[in-house]
Chains A and B, each alone.
Chain A
Amino acid sequence: MRIARLTVALTTGLALVTACGGTDGGKSDGADAGGGPETIVFALAGLGPEGEATQAAIKDFERANPSIKVEVQVLSTDATQYLQQLQHRFVAGSGTPDVFKVDGIYPASLAKAGWLLDLDTLKPDLGAFMPSSLTAGRYQGKTYAVPWFINTEGLFYRTDLVKVPPKTPEELVAAAQAAMKANPKVKYGLAFEGAKYEGAITAFLAMAGGFGGKLDPANLDTPENRRALRFMRDSIHQTKIAPQAVTGWKEGEVQQAFSSGQAVFALNWPFVFSASEGMPAAGKIGFAPFAGTGATLGAEMLAINGKSAHTAASWKLIQHLTSADVQVKRALATGNPPSVTAAYNETLFAEAPYFKQVQKVAEVAVQRPVATNYPKISDRLQTMLSSVLSNLTPPEQALTTAASEVRDIAANG
């Protein structure tokens, strides 16, 4: 009898809990079935100037398309968390967000899971985009995401210390050592992201490009990659143009070292230009590929939810955000390099001439591997780089081990 009562109490309670949990799932879906404007939900992570630029672009869009209302859903600024938040919505089968921003390393895995709309059905004008930026959005020959804006990691150099950007890694070492000797204020020859995180991979990829290497998951253990990895290690432990501290540096510390005038060279992203305003390095900044050919491409992509009920309106928003005028406005407000070729025009260069250099770097920049299980590959590469940069494992040995692990991961996914 007592047990029966207890059971009743528990089941009633559980039912209540479940009922409460179930209501928030499809709340925002189908709210606009009536005659009013069509509402699309746009998920992004932007805050600060980026967020403001996006808001401004959305306002313009709503003015031009009065029948569409854009509801912005701000998710985490942390790339990993952002992805989780999206995944949870997709796993639950939600039709929102209709359209969303996603880091260029993820569209392949989201497409494989079947969560993205095949954009080829909307006949996109792919020729308008910077060619190298499109690969991140492609999976099995179809386009699932287009670039919103790109990012290029290349070599920053001090134009007052180095007349022309080095064409080979050896030239870079020589120039760095000479500049360090000549100027006591210059403490570091080279700064780069060496902490155990994604940034170490982008820095390595830029250097590898300078040696003719690339990140092919099926074949990482190449002579070019070995040389690049050895160069990276030696820069800390042998030629000593980079301080030991880079093993803990992310792009923020690298930018600090460069903007404050302490470093001759730095591998970093174009935000260094705007971040250096009013700092000792301002006005003396050059930007070029590493050793003439090495640069890493990052891209923030736009994709449409495969379950969205508003694909046409969502696509209109994407077209608006990737139109040359909107891209120029965004580039000037935030420093985000445009993803469409037409935006690299006189209007942009007149206000921010450095985008000419960014465009040059973007032309040779390459993507990280487009793989459905990239996070797993990234983890192995981060461990390899961390272990080599702290001089725990010889570069050749670490690369051989990581290469076979990555090959297995890529083959099994």
Chain B
Amino acid sequence: MARPSSDRLGYLLVAPTVLILLSITAFPLAYNLWNSLRHVVLTDPSSAGFAGLENYRALLGDPQFAQVLARTSLFTVVSVSVQMAVGLMVALVLHRRFRGRGLVRAAVLIPWAVPTVVAAISWKTMLDPQSGVLSFLFGVDTAWLAGEWTAWIAIAVADGWKTVPFVAIILLAGLQVIPGDIYEAARVDGSGAWHAFWKLTLPLLKPALMVALIFRTLSALLIFDVIFILTGGGPGDTTETLSYVTWREFLVESDFGGGGAVSVLMLVLSLVIAGAYTRLFRLDRREG
């Protein structure tokens, strides 16, 4: 007798959450998908209509879009690899006992707590050819952001400065749940520190590594704010990424069809990557 009423209560309790999710996630997603199949340019209402796959065809047939895709992917692979490696090193250091560790752990988190836009503007100021600290130190007036490679390095550093702490904290949490006695057992068996790192630490850290990797890959793929502030996509179009193109299609050109198509492609890409990672992770667990 009690069950139906507790069921009803359950539905009632989750209903607000479901509604909110439907209205802020499912609805915009579906609406965007629908828009991507239509011709919707706000400034040209008379041309609105169903376009089928036209937006996608235009996008995939555009050699410039292929370049954007390639450069976003390259940035993601390189920057995430470096961030993971550096983040792991920071985490290992923070895991050791040393005087003032609490203070250092707190300090490491600061970059992550600074809003990206604020951080990016600070980096831009530091990179300024006339008044920037970098020009002062090297005694030059190079416009770092006007060179293709220096601009990318600046973007990667500004992004990494903020995200390495994030990786480090996740990995540190992972390190802390590894029981200390297995290292003792390894030492008794005559294993060196290096060996223990590869054979014990890394495999046991895999769940934490996976979490950090998924988060970082997806957000590197979507990078926008740092680029928007630092280079505006320049010099030329050499630092335009997927999100930058989405922004331009939607907000500069008011093209909700074309912009919708880019963002749907980004969604698919994100899902594929997230799926691939989780699959990799699960297979591994089954073996172990």
Q: Which residues of A contact B (CB under 8 A)?
A: 2, 5-6, 9-10, 13-14, 17, 80, 84, 87, 91, 109-110, 112-114, 195-197, 243-245, 247-248, 372-373, 375-376, 379, 382-384, 386-387, 389-393, 413
B135-153 CB contact bits vs A (8 Å, 1 = yes)? 0000001110111100000
In the complex, what residues of A have CB within 8 A of residue B12's CB?
A: 9
Which residue on A lies nearest to B40, using beta carbons?
A91
Q: Specify the main secondary structure of chain A where it touches its partner.
A: helix
* Chain B: interface size category: 35 or more
| Cβ-defined contact, B43 with A113, below 8 A | yes
Q: Is the CB of A9 within 8 A of B11?
A: yes
Given the complex of chains A and B, what is the CA–CA distance between A84 and B42 in angstroms? 9
Which residues of B are interface residues toward A (Cβ below 8 A)?
7-8, 11-12, 15-16, 18-19, 22-23, 42-46, 124, 128-130, 141-143, 145-148, 231-238, 248, 251-254
In the complex, chain B residues whose CB is within 8 Å of the CB of A244:
129, 141-143, 146
A87-B43, A243-B129 given; A17·B141 CB < 8 A: no
Give bound CA distance, A144 to B237, whole Å.
35
B residues less than 8 Å from A5 (CB atoms): 8, 11
CB within 8 Å for A196 and B43 given contacts A245-B129, A379-B252: no
State whether A112 touches B43 (Cβ < 8 A): yes
The smallest beta-carbon distance between A398 and chain B, in angstroms, is 8
A164 to B149, CA, bound (A): 42
- Flag if A17 contacts B23 (CB, 8 Å): yes
A17–B19 touching, CB < 8 Å: yes
CA distance A87 to B148 in the complex (A): 36
Of A91, A372, A379, which one neighbours B248 at CB under 8 angstroms? A379
- Cα A6 to Cα B7 in complex, Å, equals 10
Closest to A398 in B: B236
Q: Which of B11, B16, B130, B235 contacts A245 (CB 8 A)?
A: B130
A375–B232 touching, CB < 8 Å = no
Q: How many A-B residue pairs have CB under 8 A?
A: 119
Which of B44, B130, B143, B232 is in CB contact (< 8 Å) with A196?
B232
Question: Beyond A110-B43, A243-B130, is A248–B11 a contact (Cβ under 8 Å)?
Answer: no
Residue of A nearest to B235 (CB): A390
Separation of A114 and B47 alpha carbons in the complex (Å): 12
A-chain residues with CB within 8 Å of residue B145 when the two chains form the complex: 247-248
A390–B143 touching, CB < 8 Å: yes
Residues of B within 8 A of A245 (CB): 128-130, 141, 143
Interchain CA distance A378-B43 in the complex, whole Å = 15
C-alpha spacing A8/B124, complex, angstroms: 53
What are the 7 tightest A-B residue pairs by CB atom distance, in nearest-first order? Answer: A387-B236, A390-B235, A196-B234, A386-B234, A390-B146, A244-B143, A245-B129
B7, B15, B237: which contacts A387 (Cβ < 8 A)?
B237
- Closest chain A residue to B250, Cβ basis: A84
| 25 residue pairs bridging A and B, Cβ less than 8 Å apart | A6-B15, A10-B18, A13-B16, A13-B19, A91-B42, A113-B43, A114-B46, A196-B231, A196-B232, A244-B142, A245-B128, A245-B141, A247-B146, A247-B234, A247-B235, A372-B43, A379-B248, A382-B234, A383-B233, A383-B234, A383-B236, A386-B237, A387-B234, A390-B236, A392-B148
Instruction: Please tell me if the beta carbons of A375 and B15 are within 8 angstroms of each other in the complex.
Output: no
Q: Which of B8, B45, B232, B254 contacts A197 (CB 8 A)?
A: B232
Q: Given the complex of chains A and B, what is the CA–CA distance between A78 and B16 in angstroms?
A: 36
Q: Which one of B236, B237, B253 contacts A375 once the chains associate, using CB atoms below 8 Å? A: B253
